[in-house]
Chains A and B, each alone.
Chain A
Amino acid sequence: MRCVSVLLGLALSPPFLFPAEAPHVFTPAQKNYWFFQPVKKSPVPAVRNKAWVKTPIDAFILAKLEENKLQPNSRADKLTLLRRVTVDMTGLPPTQEEIQQFLSDYSPNAWEKVVDRLLASPAYGERWGRHWLDVARYADSNGFKADETRPNVWRYRDYVIKAFNDDKPYDRFVKEQIAGDELYPGNTEALTAMGFNRHWIDETNAPDLFERRHQTLDDMTTVTGVAFLGMTFGCAKCHDHKFDPILTKDYYRLQSFFANTAFGDGPLPLSDPEDKRKYEEQYSAWDAKTKDIRAEMEKIMAPILEDRKKHSATVMTDEVQAVVAKDAAQRTPLEQQVYHIAETRFGGLGDPVKALKGDNAKRYAELKAQLATFDYIKPAPLPEGQFMTDLNATAPPTYILRGGSRFAPGDEVQPGFLSILDRSDAKITPPQGVNSTGRRSSLAAWLTDPSNPLPVRVMVNRIWHYHFGRGIVATPGDFGRMGAKPTHPELLDYLANYFVDNGWSIKKVHRLILLSNAYQEASDYQPKIAEADPDNKLLWRYPRRRMEAEAVRDSMLATAGLLNPQPGGPGVYPPVPPGLITELSATAVAGGWRTEKDPAQSDRRSVYIFVRRNLPYPLLQEFDTANTFESCDYRKNTVTAPQSLDLLNNELVLDWARSLAGRVFNDSGLKPEAQVDRAFHLAYGRGASAEEQKIAEDFLAKQMPIMAQRLAGDDKSKPPLPANLPAGTDPARAAAFVDLCHMLLDSNEFLYIN
């Protein structure tokens, strides 16, 4: 930041210090960098072991292995595979019925049937939509001190889930999120999609609204660069990128597409034309009848609002106050932007009606009563969304900012793409019938142009990354020189072509991957092969890994038989550990955490848990959920004591164990062996071995006397017992069994995907 203040001084004489630059000369190495080359039509390589090739993917994987004289692992057993693919595709373990069905299905297309069933499951969107929400830095609150709730932003989350379930073509998905407002005016889904760039962290209390806008633009530029282009544009904010050919100029050219963006929060159009027609008819009837009443009300209120506006502005900088004081017609496009943000803060100081005095107050109340008499013809309010749109058709100029500081503007730039790919300014066509610049439509077209080699590779790599825990490029947000090199560049291009050729269908890419032998390899370790390829870069085995945060919680709920599959709607607030809320005075002001009264709501899928930036849900955060302050490319994977404390001591987890024990007793009756076997079935999808039966019975034998003692004690020390135990159940055994189930949920076999 200090360099900024130095630059402040330098900025006094920009022409001297920053003469107009000659066009940047890129080196041949930069121009030849693989990522900037067109996506190649990679021929499927020839391999010796042709029998192993189930889909073309296998040929690419096997060719490399054979080249290195390595063997892929054999196919994993059916149960492992079913668990792997079910968690991968839905974030949930397979049900007992699904296991039964697959294990007893010996038809040649048994696996294909499973894959197709999972691709059609609504749980798929909840799983893969969450992956996209990571990329989109999704949150239900503003961040910063106040961290106010964004009450309608969840509609974007539901949009994403639905888009994945509908297999919305990815090019359309991108277009809707970048320029849905311009390209598909009046389309509810497309406008909801514009929530993508509404997830910036926002300091609503900032006195300098020029700076606040500036930071918002930086957020959109950086996220767009990482999410769609796989390039760390953020590095080029202050200087040309040091490793990749991203000029500072390119950073601001990209930013310029967003230069006129503003809060577009408001009602969403009705998607059904008949509903829409009805609504408009009703509304205009109400509007006509109440026009005069409302005009008079507004006239009475105007001075109060004007007064408040002045008062609200006093906490803002002098520069902003001058903008607020200015006549609307005199404001420059940039000032209009700032005024637009300032307006969101005019509403403070409580109900303005209470500020009315004497006759005004009386008359206002009369008018209000009159207005209410027309409520019966007023249509129900439209659903509201939170999204980003352009403020109007004229964008403020964008300058190259030296050192990233808005106080040090250099040359003005026009919207444009990466100079190394295309130096010219982007062609902008203002859209018909929409008060918008048309800039983002141009960006969306470039991001979905099949001849643009960047976005398509980035997306297929993301898909691969989530399936295998590591992308073909291991850094999904950085395809530049500082990122990882592709392990299978030809395969990446093959997938990219396949994706475009198949109508940008994400599900078709899933299918190609899931049906491959590469996906079905066992995770077994082979010491000899590991010597040659310790990182498994060539994919000689399937990489074992812990489930992600949401899958951990959702799998536990599902195994306990408690998971509430209700989809969509505003975020829910499951209980948090004691001691957390009481100290959150500041966030409490902004709505805090209103723990659900209905346990069924607490037991919804994790993707529906309210995402408060300053209070990430503890269990999810401990298991490395996405950082919501920036686009999240991949989840970290840590092993920590707080995770274990949570799984051991959290009363919720214990309650899930109690519920699981109840399932076991209800299913298996009183026979001890059958009980243990059932518990293993429910937790792991398989029965207990003789050795495990013994481990379990030894444990129960030690635990039962302790439980018997606790059961005989006072109410406070009584252990939790499953509800509705079958008659004749020994309560001490049932209580000990809760502990057994608890440990199964906490165990590695439960938490890891093989």
Chain B
Amino acid sequence: MLDKLKHHWNVTNRREFFTQAGSGLAAIALAAMLDQDGYAASVDPLAPKKPHVTPRAKSIIWCFMEGAPSHVDLFDPKPALEKYSGQPVPPSYHPETLQSAFGTTHNGLYPTRHKFKQYGESGLWVSDWLPNIAEHMDEIAVLRSCTADGVNHVGAVCQMNTGEILAGRPSMGAWVTYGLGSANQNLPTFVVMQDDKEILGGVQNYSSGFLPATYQGTLFRKGDTPILNLRPPTGMTDAQERNKLEFLQAINDRFGRDKQDDTELDARTRSYELAYRMQSSAPEAVDLSSESEATKKLYGLDDPATSVYGTNLLMARRLVERGVRFVECYSGSGSRWDAHSSLEANHTENCKSADKPVAGLLTDLKARGMLKDTLVVWGGEFGRTPFVQGSPNDEKAGRDHNPWGFTIWMAGGGVKGGQAIGTTDEIGLRAVDEPHHVHDIHASILYLLGLDHLRTTYMHNGRAERPTGTAGALIDKLWA
């Protein structure tokens, strides 16, 4: 009920009004008020802001397995599937109430072909598809009872990023940027990397929705120019550019001399300096030449099968090191994990490409003392069905989408590892114990980063909007 009330509260605060009011005019008026609040007296929407709760994590690296990995083949063993192999879902599971993406609910149950083993002190189960991540299970909290609303990829990927199936709401990275500001303005605060094709739905997944555009994610391009317009025009020298910027400053100063009240004018002059610094800091951040061979090897950069995702994750670590708060790295962007057919071939290839880099990231973060304040999240937009798609007996056998119960895991950033939270039913179809909707996952991630999802609000169309819509509950077990 509290949720319901919060959804309607007019909790607009000064900081928020300030960002929305936007105009230089409102800015001056508010500068004084902001001072009282302890916020930076500037028009800078990215100025660091005070968190609501003590942050356990400074940054997050979200390893997004796009297309949906199969939980029953990776982290959530279901021996009962052997028992029911080939039989339709027993009526007690009410398959008739499910609308699967491809109408597969009548198909036979399909046990995994992979061997599960227990790892670490915690003895958490992992299949032989992920031998490297398996070595880190004592750092990892496995959420086995996730649920989502979307049966289709576009909606579900959008929901995992924004909380809603329909495009148009701010993504979590945008909310975090809005709520916490930037820790290093020479770099974007919210960075997205894809390894293959465009993420399904594209920009809607890292958009700022109704928040100001400042808070949207920046898609890092491949190569040494990760940001649009980052590279100065061909042939321009640094001295030439410095002269230009000094000239600009001089004419802006002259223009602003009798307009000292208008802090926006000054902010704009400074934004050119910021852009100038970004020109060198962004390429430096993605330049891996200073990384040791051992580190590169750790991420699998020496093997073509792992180097693409490994490169992104190594860049993610470098970004986080430099104060970037929210990095999302898509594995198989464009839905490559989507194993409707040939699950074996699909997951063999995709697990191979991501397993070593993700494990390498965990090892590297730990070795650098960064794991304690870097939250690593692994998962897709939903899981896969325990029943087969296609014939169970040939190599083309696959699994359909399963938003009713699936696995996501988290490590580092204040997360208590070595535990499994929640369960799916005996066949891995639905979350039964401690089900956690995407909104709960979002609320918990925000909490770990220092934001109370109920207090992270923005007035939009007369409503104090928050990242979790009208829902969201903290998954305390993650850190308790």
Chain A residue with minimal CB distance to B271?
Answer: A644
Min CB–CB distance A162 → chain B (angstroms): 30
Complex CA–CA separation, A669 to B20 (angstroms):
48
Chain B residue with minimal CB distance to A633?
Answer: B461
Residues of A within 8 A of B462 (CB): 232, 235, 243-244, 475, 478, 480-483
Binds A, one of B73-81, B245-253, B308-316: B245-253
Q: Are B22 and A637 in contact (CB under 8 A)?
A: yes
Q: Does A117 contact B (CB under 8 A)?
A: no
Residues of B within 8 A of A583 (CB): 194, 198, 219, 221-222
Residues of A within 8 A of B103 (CB): 314, 318
Number of chain B residues whose Cβ lies closer than 8 Å to a Cβ of chain A: 102
Residues of A within 8 A of B204 (CB): 143, 614
Instruction: Known pairs A530-B29, A746-B272; list 14 more (Cβ under 8 Å).
Output: A318-B99, A544-B262, A545-B25, A586-B197, A627-B210, A639-B268, A640-B213, A641-B185, A641-B274, A641-B278, A648-B241, A695-B250, A716-B235, A747-B248
Q: Are B240 and A650 in contact (CB under 8 A)?
A: no
Residues of B within 8 A of A584 (CB): 198, 202
Binds B, one of A179-187, A201-209, A265-273, A510-518: A201-209
Restricting to A474-532, which residues have a CB under 8 Å from any CB of B? 475, 477-478, 480-483, 524-525, 527, 530
Which has the most chain B C-beta neighbours within 10 Å: A203, A475, A742? Answer: A203
Binds B, one of A60-68, A169-177, A332-340, A702-710: A702-710
Residues of B within 8 A of A746 (CB): 248, 272
Complex CA–CA separation, A703 to B262 (angstroms):
31
Binds B, one of A15-23, A149-157, A618-626: A618-626
Residues of B within 8 A of A201 (CB): 166-168
What are 29 A-B interface contacts by the 8 Å CB criterion? A147-B202, A201-B166, A235-B462, A315-B102, A482-B10, A482-B462, A482-B463, A545-B23, A583-B221, A583-B222, A638-B212, A641-B274, A642-B228, A648-B272, A649-B279, A650-B229, A651-B233, A654-B233, A703-B240, A710-B237, A717-B235, A719-B236, A739-B243, A743-B251, A744-B251, A746-B248, A747-B248, A747-B252, A748-B268
Min CB–CB distance B66 → chain A (angstroms): 12
Binds A, one of B130-138, B150-158, B342-350, B370-378: B150-158
Contact for B167 among A3, A143, A641, A716, CB less than 8 A: A143
Q: Does B8 contact A (CB under 8 A)?
A: yes
Q: Does B114 contact A (CB under 8 A)?
A: no
Contact for A739 among B22, B166, B240, B256, CB less than 8 A: B240
Q: Does B92 contact A (CB under 8 A)?
A: no
Complex CA–CA separation, A716 to B235 (angstroms):
7
Chain B residue with minimal CB distance to A654?
Answer: B233
Q: Given the interface contacts A232-B461, A636-B213, A742-B244, does A577 sit within 8 Å of B229 by beta carbon? A: yes
Q: Does A329 contact B (CB under 8 A)?
A: no
Min CB–CB distance A202 → chain B (angstroms): 11
Residues of B within 8 A of A143 (CB): 167, 204
Q: Does B200 contact A (CB under 8 A)?
A: yes
Min CB–CB distance B436 → chain A (angstroms): 10
Residues of A within 8 A of B28 (CB): 530, 534
Q: Does B341 contact A (CB under 8 A)?
A: no
Chain A residue with minimal CB distance to B248?
Answer: A743
Q: Does B164 contact A (CB under 8 A)?
A: yes
Restricting to B131-181, which residues have a CB under 8 Å from any CB of A? 149, 151-155, 159, 164-168
Q: Does B469 contact A (CB under 8 A)?
A: yes
Q: Does A40 contact B (CB under 8 A)?
A: no
Complex CA–CA separation, A546 to B265 (angstroms):
9
Q: Are B231 and A640 in contact (CB under 8 A)?
A: no
Residues of chain B having any CB pair with chain A under 8 Å: 8, 10, 20, 22-26, 28-29, 43-46, 99, 101-103, 149, 151-155, 159, 164-168, 185, 194, 197-198, 200-204, 209-210, 212-214, 218-219, 221-223, 225, 227-237, 239-241, 243-244, 246-248, 250-252, 254-256, 258-262, 264-265, 267-269, 271-272, 274-276, 278-279, 334, 437, 439, 459, 461-463, 469-471
Q: Are A703 and B272 in contact (CB under 8 A)?
A: no
Q: Are B243 and A702 in contact (CB under 8 A)?
A: yes
Q: Given the interface contacts A482-B463, A525-B262, does A624 sit within 8 Å of B213 by beta carbon? A: yes
Min CB–CB distance B463 → chain A (angstroms): 6
Q: Does A751 contact B (CB under 8 A)?
A: yes
Q: Does A597 contact B (CB under 8 A)?
A: no
Number of chain A residues whose Cβ lies closer than 8 Å to a Cβ of chain B: 109
Q: Does A630 contact B (CB under 8 A)?
A: yes
Min CB–CB distance B21 → chain A (angstroms): 8
Min CB–CB distance A677 → chain B (angstroms): 14
Complex CA–CA separation, A178 to B233 (angstroms):
49
Residues of B within 8 A of A641 (CB): 185, 271, 274-275, 278
Q: Does A535 contact B (CB under 8 A)?
A: yes
Q: Does A580 contact B (CB under 8 A)?
A: yes
Q: Does A740 contact B (CB under 8 A)?
A: yes
Q: Are A706 and B463 in contact (CB under 8 A)?
A: no
Give A1-35 as 1s and 0s: 1 = Cβ < 8 Å from B's Cβ atoms: 11111000000000000000000000000000000
Residues of A within 8 A of B227 (CB): 642, 645
Residues of A within 8 A of B250 (CB): 695, 699
Complex CA–CA separation, A226 to B461 (angstroms):
9
Q: Are A579 and B233 in contact (CB under 8 A)?
A: no
Residues of A within 8 A of B219 (CB): 583
Residues of B within 8 A of A651 (CB): 233
Complex CA–CA separation, A180 to B234 (angstroms):
53
Q: Are B228 and A749 in contact (CB under 8 A)?
A: no
Q: Are A579 and B99 in contact (CB under 8 A)?
A: no
Question: 7 smallest A-B Cβ distances: which pairs?
Answer: A534-B29, A482-B462, A644-B275, A717-B235, A637-B22, A629-B168, A699-B247
Contact for B247 among A315, A640, A695, CB less than 8 A: A695
Q: Are B29 and A645 in contact (CB under 8 A)?
A: no
Residues of B within 8 A of A145 (CB): 153-154, 200-202
Contact for A544 among B209, B254, B259, B459, CB less than 8 A: B259
Complex CA–CA separation, A243 to B439 (angstroms):
25
Contact for A719 among B24, B235, B251, B264, CB less than 8 A: B235
Complex CA–CA separation, A258 to B259 (angstroms):
51
Give A294-325 as 1s and 0s: 1 = Cβ < 8 Å from B's Cβ atoms: 00000000000000000000110110000000
Q: Given the interface contacts A1-B471, A585-B334, does A144 sit within 8 Å of B271 by beta carbon? A: no
Residues of A within 8 A of B152 (CB): 205-207
Residues of B within 8 A of A638 (CB): 22, 45, 212-214
Q: Does A687 contact B (CB under 8 A)?
A: no
Q: Given the interface contacts A232-B463, A748-B268, does A203 sit within 8 Å of B261 by beta carbon? A: no
Chain B residue with minimal CB distance to A218?
Answer: B166
Min CB–CB distance B33 → chain A (angstroms): 10
Q: Are B251 and A648 in contact (CB under 8 A)?
A: no
Q: Does A543 contact B (CB under 8 A)?
A: yes
Complex CA–CA separation, A3 to B222 (angstroms):
41
Complex CA–CA separation, A649 to B232 (angstroms):
5
Contact for B228 among A481, A636, A645, A695, CB less than 8 A: A645
Q: Are B212 and A636 in contact (CB under 8 A)?
A: yes
Min CB–CB distance B472 → chain A (angstroms): 9
Chain A residue with minimal CB distance to B219?
Answer: A583
Residues of A within 8 A of B271 (CB): 639-641, 643-644
Q: Does A752 contact B (CB under 8 A)?
A: yes
Residues of B within 8 A of A717 (CB): 234-235
Residues of B within 8 A of A637 (CB): 22-23
Give A586-606 as 1s and 0s: 1 = Cβ < 8 Å from B's Cβ atoms: 110000000000000000000
Residues of B within 8 A of A585 (CB): 197-198, 334
Chain B residue with minimal CB distance to A709?
Answer: B237
Chain B residue with minimal CB distance to A545?
Answer: B23
Q: Does A411 contact B (CB under 8 A)?
A: no
Residues of A within 8 A of B459 (CB): 482
Q: Are A645 and B230 in contact (CB under 8 A)?
A: yes
Q: Are B255 and A747 in contact (CB under 8 A)?
A: yes
Min CB–CB distance A204 → chain B (angstroms): 11
Residues of A within 8 A of B198 (CB): 583-587
Contact for A614 among B101, B202, B251, B470, CB less than 8 A: B202
